[in-house]
Structure 1
């Protein structure tokens, strides 16, 4: 009633003010805006529900690793465009304007009576000129073609390395996601067990008050509950830290609230899984990995660098043409203080006959780089084979662990139910109830961990076999 009278007074005052200023409509609009502002609900921040695919896509778009990979590809493509220009004609323009100190003109006088001196080289104190030059390489000892091929291979290698970086980033995001989800699942299990232990503690406390149980039983429950509380605090901290790591990957502020839209055991049918359904992954699965293809291209680059280094043993031949427009033109004798144009065309040959075995040393360095690249490729291939074998085995083990953990949870739940009924009937001890609670807790944690490990093993095997995100 008090609230209604206050608002009524406010309406009356508003109308009187509007009547005084002869603006009742404006007064009513002002009153309506006040009511609207009071009745408008304040938006509440709802945590975003995210899936693994959403997080991976966000990271591939926003993470600096993806941006760096794109920049390397752009740089390699620009380098390839640059290398192609070395094989094409080069057109250059230059100009000059020079002021010279005055010198006496050079002249001769014939030994003829009455003859005047003849000026051979007049004194021209200002010179101007422009030159247009065209150069076309004809043969460079295969170095220019090798440089272009190296740039092309480097551009292709940068694309493969971008795919490698994106695959690594996707795997890291999946690991962060399932680590976060596993911590949340563990937190949920611990919270439920803590509630169950709290209820059991209340029951035992009543039994102690009735003289049907001992204080030692009550203290045992409190010790077990304290242990669960400590583990719950650790689980909450782990979940928060994992969420921060995931936010860092997908470009969110670290404290952004998130809710997982997937569970390690959601829609998980390990028997029907496409990867785990095969006992052995094909032996050459690693050949599709982008890092293997990138190293193979890098080896080809080393081979081309060897060809370029050996090009120092060959001559270099080029075509050159020039057009000069100068005042005076140096090709016109005697010099004339006026603009004249001339041109020249020719073929140039350069051949280093002796360089103190510099070219031989460069060829040996390139040959060593080829051997190093071959060894690196073999090392990566062996590591890829090992990864495929290891992650295939881990995936099969994870599948078996999930099946075993599910049976363990079913058995622990049934055991807890039976022990609880016996305890209420007075035929079971408090210790047996606590042991059943701990066994159920551990069984559920094992199942959560097994589900997360299965998801991670599957993601790692996809990465090892070269499957792209």
Structure 2
């Protein structure tokens, strides 16, 4: 029975009336798919995991390390010690040595803790990079989504324009048969109808390109059927420009990355300075000696022993290498600070441009809506005058062209507003504006 239900379910899914192309994707669903599939974001997450693993490894540098070693030598001649009373052997022709050593760093001039701090900063850098990739992907998905909405609406507009041209062509032919219009008006109506068919083909091609671009971001086959919710939210931006600018200087990943770069160089300066201090290690060792491979015998001394001690290493002279390296790092810190200032200036400019573009897009929407309303009324009046014989084909075609252009500009203005809003959010460093 279960198998019968399964076969029935598969048949339903494979039927012509049920396909993935019938599903309408919302913007939220597109964003969710892209954020879970896009390779660049997965790569950023992988780099973040790598940075976390390196930070864990750097922390373990504080812990003691265990070493084991084994050596075996066979000498050509037996080593001896000569005295006035005779010659005595020091070791046999074979020698083996095995040791287990524990080494704990006590003080390395803060080098270990500084390297750990650098690894922690690397994690923050990877998090900032992930946020940058995520925000860029969200903007690109929104842009592709609203361009697809625009393309779908322009398809509808092109089809309606073609229908109006064909309806007008039928009217003109009817009037021509009754002798009310000249033949040139029929020819003009036919040419304008062909031109509307050409615009429909161009709109269909733009729709395919827009669908492929969004499919690519969603990691779907480029030719896969895809329909989106045909709406423009049109939500206004209530925050002032000054507040958005403050948010950008605090949230933009590029600014955060530049600040982390300065901090990283400061930690690197500490790392170079640590070479001026002595390094102290606590060590303990257990060893065995023998004149056989298995160290079972040592007739020349102790076969095994153990010791505990401190080792100190201090680099006293290096021909000024450490000083030059510190000078180089200080210069790099200055360069990173100047780079930070440049990035902040660029962020200010990008926010300003995005804000002005949004304001311009908002005004264009108002203008386009007013123009569309006037074009509709103009087309209605010209059409009525044509039926009364008070206007010719040229007047109707011009009115219809004006109406089509006004509707297309209104659609483009609304799409541009949504994309400008998304671009402003991206310039501020947010996934969505408050």
- Aligned pairs (5 A) from 1:136-175: 136-175=104-143
Compared CA separation, residues 243 and 339, structure 1 to 2 (3 A): farther
Counterpart position of 2:15? 43
Compared CA separation, residues 311 and 46, structure 1 to 2 (3 A): closer
- Aligned pairs (5 A) from 1:187-202: 187-202=155-170
* 3-state SS in 2 of match to 1:419: helix
Counterpart position of 2:33? 58
Superposed CA deviations along residues 41-94 of structure 1, whole A, max 9, x for unmatched, are 751234131112111111111110111100110111111112112222222112
- Give the length in aligned residue pairs: 415
* 3-state SS in 1 of match to 2:285: strand
Compared CA separation, residues 279 and 311, structure 1 to 2 (3 A): closer
Counterpart position of 1:284? 246
Q: TM-score, normalised by structure 2?
A: 0.88
Q: Distance in 1 between matches of 2:403 and 2:409?
A: 10
* 3-state SS in 2 of match to 1:321: strand
1:89 to 61, 64, 67: 64
| Greater Cα shift, 157-166 or 347-356 | 347-356
Counterpart position of 1:206? 174
2:280 to 312, 317, 334: 317
Q: TM-score, normalised by structure 1?
A: 0.82
Superposed CA deviations along residues 291-349 of structure 1, whole A, max 9, x for unmatched, are 322221121001111221222333322222222122259xxxx9626872212333222
Q: Distance in 2 between matches of 1:104 and 1:374?
A: 65
Superposed CA deviations along residues 93-115 of structure 1, whole A, max 9, x for unmatched, are 122344444638668795xxxxx
Compared CA separation, residues 100 and 455, structure 1 to 2 (3 A): same
Counterpart position of 1:378? 341
Counterpart position of 2:230? 262
Displacement of 1:368 in angstroms is 2.1
Q: Distance in 2 between matches of 1:451 and 1:302?
A: 46
Alignment check: 8 A CA contact 2:63 2:104 kept: yes
Larger radius of gyration: 1
Counterpart position of 2:149? 181
Counterpart position of 2:405? 442
Alignment check: 8 A CA contact 2:152 2:230 kept: no
Superposed CA deviations along residues 404-463 of structure 1, whole A, max 9, x for unmatched, are 211221111111111111111111222111111011001110110011011101111111
Superposed CA deviations along residues 103-138 of structure 1, whole A, max 9, x for unmatched, are 38668795xxxxxx785435353x333211122222
Q: Distance in 1 between matches of 2:80 and 2:313?
A: 39
- Aligned pairs (5 A) from 1:25-44: 43-44=15-16
Q: Distance in 2 between matches of 1:260 and 1:335?
A: 84
Q: Distance in 1 between matches of 2:31 and 2:381?
A: 45
* 3-state SS in 2 of match to 1:354: coil
* 3-state SS in 1 of match to 2:349: helix
Q: Would you say 1:134 and 2:102 are equivalent positions?
A: yes
Q: Would you say 1:123 and 2:131 are equivalent positions?
A: no
Counterpart position of 2:53? 78
* 3-state SS in 2 of match to 1:284: helix
Q: Distance in 1 between matches of 2:93 and 2:99?
A: 20
Compared CA separation, residues 186 and 285, structure 1 to 2 (3 A): same
| Greater Cα shift, 137-146 or 237-246 | 137-146
Counterpart position of 1:246? 214
Compared CA separation, residues 64 and 122, structure 1 to 2 (3 A): closer
Superposed CA deviations along residues 196-250 of structure 1, whole A, max 9, x for unmatched, are 1011011112222222112222222233333332222222111101111111111
After superposition, the CA RMSD in angstroms is 2.6
Counterpart position of 2:377? 414
Q: Distance in 2 between matches of 1:68 and 1:305?
A: 27
Q: Distance in 1 between matches of 2:176 and 2:119?
A: 83
Compared CA separation, residues 98 and 74, structure 1 to 2 (3 A): same
Counterpart position of 1:458? 421
- Aligned pairs (5 A) from 1:390-401: 390-401=353-364
* 3-state SS in 2 of match to 1:427: coil
Counterpart position of 1:30? none
Q: Distance in 2 between matches of 1:337 and 1:321?
A: 24
Displacement of 1:359 in angstroms is 1.4
Alignment check: 8 A CA contact 1:130 1:324 kept: yes
Q: Distance in 2 between matches of 1:176 and 1:104?
A: 83
Alignment check: 8 A CA contact 2:58 2:116 kept: yes
| Greater Cα shift, 240-249 or 218-227 | 218-227
Counterpart position of 2:366? 403
Q: Distance in 2 between matches of 1:178 and 1:99?
A: 80
Q: Distance in 2 between matches of 1:465 and 1:409?
A: 33
* 3-state SS in 1 of match to 2:401: helix
Compared CA separation, residues 143 and 104, structure 1 to 2 (3 A): closer
2:42 to 67, 84, 93: 67
Q: Distance in 2 between matches of 1:245 and 1:467?
A: 23
Q: Distance in 2 between matches of 1:279 and 1:233?
A: 43
* 3-state SS in 1 of match to 2:92: coil
Ranges in structure 1 where 5+ consecutive residues have no aligned partner: 1-32, 111-116
